Structure 1
Amino acid sequence: MLPRDVISSGALILRPPAEGDAEAVVKMCDDPVTARFMPLLPQPYEMDDALGYVRRSAAVWEGGGAQFAITEGGRFAGLVWLSAPDHWGVSGAGFMVAPWARGRGVASTAARAVTDWALDHGVRRVELQAEVENVASLRGRVPGGVPRGGAAAGGQAAARRALRRLCGVRQAPGGGGAGGGAVPASAGGRGAGRRGGAADADGAR
């Protein structure tokens, strides 16, 4: 089980979500760019969705995964999450960056921080995925130490269209194996079953 820590990285603090984050989560998830790259989010996204997400985060931690609110200078800047490692020690990861926090390297800093933290706590491999169309999100992952992986075919029934994904991987020295579990439900809980995913749309308009 991963410890319920607070992670500091540069100007960012990653901490477990709190009910006080709910209003900012609503604004982030109602953003059209977020909705484009996270098509399973409820639309419109309401306060009950955000509160439900925050309240379920305790169960995610208890189940071996992790959910963090990203803050910058004390202000909510996004979310980052990890699935519980599977029997190979592989964890899936994803994140969303709020519209007001884009363009400042929040995605790459958060990706580096949470993957370093996970590998330090026994996870053997972290897999991050993003839609290929979300170029800014993909750029954010590479500076975080996540090498580019191969594009994999994927689908989103809710979006009714085929999507291609680029998978980035980081693993502990000597780590191996493949696979990955389902990422904890996206905000609102209706995104369960997605592995990874991101809506850091710096520059993606």
Structure 2
Amino acid sequence: MNANRIPVIFSHGWGENKGGDYFIYSYLTGFLASKGYFVVSIQHELPTDEMLAMDGKLQVTRKPNWERGVRNILFVLNTMKKEFPDLKYRQLVVMGHSNGGDMTSLFAHEYPELIHKVIALDNRRMALPRTKTPEIYTLRSNDYPADEGVLPSEKEKEKYGMVVEFTPIHHSSMDNDVTPEERKNMTEKVLEFLQK
């Protein structure tokens, strides 16, 4: 299949600083690459990094981690633009799961002009931007609710065209732990949003 030259930057969920987390979503990133997307998955964590905050008001105590993630995403994007200048950066997609979804959401708050589409896979702490541009899509798990204010209200969904879709998949199974049926469900939904 010919490459469509649309870049996708993927950010993984928190992996307890063990490293190698960008591999555990290969069913999804590999699928998108097979459809012609130029996919880059960032390794956000090193064993020497500070652990993710588990107490306090998480929207506050985890924000330094998300801010570092935003810097990582921006660095990767700027490096891609130098090394692969022919990609369609006006159609940039940023995507992430869980803590990576929170990083992705914060990146969309700070750099909306750089992004065409945002896909948040069950981010739970950082509020999704209320905006028409970039386009916002989120797939939700069936076992963990988002914190208050993360997801748009019905009125906000209508106003901004944001799409919130609930799935039968567990939060921790949105990586390579998904069943074959869940993989098909996830990849089809993501591709449908990307191609609309």
TM-score of the aligned structures, taking structure 2 as reference length: 0.33
TM-score by length of 1: 0.32
Which structure shows the higher helix fraction?
2
Bigger relative contact order (CA 8 A; separation at least 6): 1
